[in-house]
């Protein structure tokens, strides 16, 4: 049974963000099977296709909304972590994540066939001082033990995929399943680099949860794609795009 908190959060998200939040679409030959960005053809977008040369990438990726450059959803992703944070933006990101944990928290475990045992948040590679706002949110609600990650100083090619960008603070036990959380997926280099680090530390399964899949309306056919998106539905499973694999979430059409 779903927590009553999930129902309250669903209503709050529609009330505060229903006008600008949009569910990522999972549709073959329309969006990338990994990151849900629009594609012209094929199963994967160009960056995700290039990432496939690396062994140990995340086993599954889910995004909670599209972060649209130059629009409210994009401003939220900047404002929640700004030096002088925007309170409304921070609340929106927190609600998105808390809703994902309460309504859809068991979905990656069902897909992986094993429970989540650890969690990690992706650190900034820009030398941010202090505790990242994302880490503060995730640490209060994520299941399992933390698998802490530390960013290296001055990484070469920070947008590339490399396990050398991060250092794992633990050695993970066999059959470990890590929920890896990032705030924004642009081309996926940060999140997939963190996944490689966790894999090298022993992770058997990695489920990557991203708050926003960044998208630029001026690129390709993105503007038309964005205009056609339906209204935000918080009951849709971010991991499947329709039904929750447990059968507890959105019933679908």
pLDDT of residue 4: 63
Show the domains of the chain with their CATH numbers.
Answer: 4-151+160-227 (3.40.50)
At residue 171, φ and ψ (nearest 5 deg) are: -100, 120
Greatest alpha-carbon span in the chain: 49
Q: Looking at the predicted structure, is the pLDDT value of residue 74 above 90?
A: yes
Q: Looking at the predicted structure, is the pLDDT value of residue 220 above 60?
A: yes
pLDDT of residue 227: 96
pLDDT of residue 1: 39
Would strands 205-215 and 177-185 be described as parallel, antiparallel, or unpaired? parallel
Q: In terms of pLDDT, which residue wins out, 195 or 40?
A: 195
Mean pLDDT estimate for the chain:
93
Q: Looking at the predicted structure, is the pLDDT value of residue 247 above 70?
A: no
Of 13-27, 81-95, 124-138, 227-241, which gets the smallest average pLDDT?
124-138
CA-based torsion, 164, 53, 186, 36: positive or negative: negative
**CA–CA separation, 57 and 48 (whole Å):** 10
Q: Looking at the predicted structure, is the pLDDT value of residue 129 above 60?
A: yes
pLDDT of residue 251: 34
Of 32-46, 72-86, 127-141, 229-243, which gets the smallest average pLDDT?
127-141
Q: Looking at the predicted structure, is the pLDDT value of residue 65 above 90?
A: yes
Mean predicted confidence (pLDDT) in 207-222: 97
For the chain, the straight-line distance linking the first and the last C-alpha, in angstroms and rounded, comes to 21
State how far the alpha carbon of 172 is from the alpha carbons of 34, 144, 176, in Å. 25, 12, 6
pLDDT of residue 154: 82
pLDDT of residue 6: 85
Percent of the chain with pLDDT over 70: 94
Mean predicted confidence (pLDDT) in 222-238: 96
């Amino acid at each position: 049974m779903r927590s009553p908190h999930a129902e309250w959060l669903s209503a709050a998200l529609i009330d505060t963000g229903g006008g600008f939040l949009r569910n990522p679409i999972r549709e073959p030959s329309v969006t990338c099977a990994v990151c849900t960005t629009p594609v012209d053809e094929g199963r994967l977008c160009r960056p995700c296709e290039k990432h496939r040369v690396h062994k140990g990438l995340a086993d599954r990726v889910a995004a909670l909304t599209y972060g649209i450059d130059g629009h409210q959803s994009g401003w939220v992703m900047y404002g929640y972590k700004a030096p002088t944070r925007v309170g409304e933006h921070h609340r929106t990101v927190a609600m998105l994540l808390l809703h994902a944990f309460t309504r859809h928290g068991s979905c990656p475990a069902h897909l992986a066939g094993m429970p989540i045992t650890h969690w990690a948040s992706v650190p900034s590679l820009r030398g941010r001082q202090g505790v990242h706002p994302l880490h503060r949110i995730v640490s209060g609600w994520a299941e399992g033990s933390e698998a802490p990650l530390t960013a290296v100083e001055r990484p070469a090619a920070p947008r590339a995929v490399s396990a050398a960008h991060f250092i794992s603070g633990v050695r993970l036990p066999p059959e470990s399943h890590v929920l890896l959380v990032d705030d924004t997926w642009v081309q996926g280099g940060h999140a997939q680099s963190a996944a490689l680090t966790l894999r090298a530390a022993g992770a058997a399964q990695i489920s990557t949860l991203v708050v926003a899949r960044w998208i630029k309306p001026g690129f390709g056919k993105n503007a038309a794609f964005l205009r056609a998106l339906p209204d935000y539905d918080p009951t849709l499973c971010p991991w499947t795009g329709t039904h929750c694999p447990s059968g507890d979430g959105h019933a679908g059409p």
